[in-house]
């Protein structure tokens, strides 16, 4: 009899993670005898926890705040994606070794393609709001997809400048005060900030200059239809919500740990939303 396959999301705090609902739905749907737990681990305990993963019988884990960067020093192997993003969110235990990767960029671009099938990355610049970890993964994914120019806009301009420099390629930094006019030539607008999330400040941006054929993607998914997406939809722009990124970024982990490529379906979306 083979041992039950085991994975988890590891964070501090980790109580609000939707990953257990997401992987739990897939385990049940595919009839896999596995588990996906929620494990709170303090930053000072991460090293001990990761070193014990193989002995504890884990096939692997997801990492969330605040462990994604710290884990880089604690694993045996980092994928090219993890190295470029400078953070990892998925670990596979293979023959006792810890192999880490970052699936956020994959999740973002796969969700964008699924939600906006007509979106053509090469058709024009992307305006990206925010310069945190999510923005970094998303800019890399956009560059890889063939976006010709990224206009990076962040409240703290220095952070946008530093990110542009670190990424290289064609990235223009525009000031937060110019966010409305910067939309003039946009083929894509992505919000990677926390603005518009329930409990946070609203995202104050006027879409009047945004071309009607542009796609708008918000990575916030609580609420699912943010005021940004509602405004974009009302003007006829194609909109992509943030839930898809969460669901697609989980695919590679599930496949590696449990041996089945899981599907993102309307039923999965419903189950994960209901778990919130």
Burial of 267 (0-12, 13-18, 19+ CB in 10 A): exposed
For residues 192 and 215, which CB has a smaller minimum distance to ligand ATR in the complex? 192
Given 42, 68, 113, 165, which residue is catalytic? 68
- C-beta closer to ligand ATR: residue 17 or 193: 193
**Shortest Cβ 2–ligand ATR spacing (Å):** 37
Kindly tell me the burial class for residue 65, based on how many C-beta atoms sit within 10 Å of its own C-beta (0-12, 13-18, 19 or more).
exposed
> Considering the rule CB under 6 A, would residue 35 count as an interface residue with ligand ATR?
no
Among 72, 86, 144, 159, binds ligand ATR (CB under 6 A): 159
Structural element, H or E, at residue 111: helix 104-115
Q: Which of 155, 207, 213, 260 binds ligand ATR (CB under 6 A)?
A: 155
Strands (E), 29-102: 34-40, 60-63, 77-78, 90-94, 97-101
Query: Binding to ligand ATR (CB under 6 A): which residues in 165-224?
Result: 192-195, 201
Using Cβ positions, the residue closest to ligand ATR within the complex turns out to be 132
Active site residue 68: yes
Half-sphere exposure of 263 (CA within 13 A, CB side): 5
Considering beta carbons, is residue 160 or 239 the nearer one to ligand ATR? Answer: 160
Q: Which one of 134, 189, 216, 228 is in contact with ligand ATR (CB under 6 A)? A: 134
Question: Toward ligand ATR, which CB reaches closer, 195 or 247?
Answer: 195
Using rule CB under 6 A, residue 131 touches ligand ATR: yes
**Binding flag, residue 271, ligand ATR (CB under 6 A):** no
Instruction: Please write down the HEC assignment for all residues of 139-197.
Output: HHHHHHHCCCCEEEEECCHHHHHHHHHHHCCCEEEEEHHHCCHHHCCCCEEEECCCCCC
Calpha distance 255→119 (Å, rounded): 27
Tokens of 98: 């810890």
CA distance 17 to 276: 9
Q: How many residues are there in the chain?
A: 276
Near ligand ATR by CB under 6 A, which window of 1-9, 36-44, 55-63, 125-133?
125-133
Least distance CB 43 / ligand ATR (angstroms): 16
Which residues are catalytic, by number? 68
Question: Rule CB under 6 A: which residues touch ligand ATR?
Answer: 130-135, 154-156, 159, 192-195, 201
């Amino acid at each position: 009899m083979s041992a039950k396959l085991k994975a988890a999301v590891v964070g501090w705090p980790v109580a609000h993670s939707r990953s257990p609902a997401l992987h739990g739905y897939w385990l049940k749907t595919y009839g896999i005898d596995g588990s996906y737990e929620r494990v709170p681990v303090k930053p000072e305990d991460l090293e001990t926890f990761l070193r014990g993963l193989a002995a504890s019988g884990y096939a692997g884990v997801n990492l969330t705040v605040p462990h994604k960067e710290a884990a880089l020093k604690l694993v045996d192997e980092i994928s090219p994606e993890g190295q470029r993003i400078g953070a990892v969110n998925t670990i596979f235990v293979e023959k006792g070794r810890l192999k880490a990767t970052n699936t956020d960029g994959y999740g973002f671009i796969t969700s964008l393609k699924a939600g906006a099938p007509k979106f053509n990355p090469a058709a024009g610049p992307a305006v990206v709001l925010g310069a945190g970890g999510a923005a970094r993964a998303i800019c890399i994914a956009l560059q890889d997809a063939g976006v010709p120019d990224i206009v990076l806009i962040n409240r703290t301009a220095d952070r946008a400048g530093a990110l542009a420099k670190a990424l290289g390629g064609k990235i223009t930094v525009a000031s937060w005060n110019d966010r409305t006019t910067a939309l003039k030539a946009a083929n894509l607008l992505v919000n990677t900030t926390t603005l518009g999330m329930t409990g946070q400040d609203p995202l104050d941006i006027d879409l009047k200059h945004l071309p009607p054929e542009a796609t708008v993607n918000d990575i916030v998914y609580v609420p699912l239809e943010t005021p940004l997406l509602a405004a974009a939809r009302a003007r006829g722009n194609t909109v992509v919500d943030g839930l898809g990124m969460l669901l697609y970024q989980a695919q590679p982990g599930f496949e590696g740990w449990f041996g089945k490529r899981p599907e993102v379906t309307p039923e999965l979306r419903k189950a994960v939303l209901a778990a919130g």
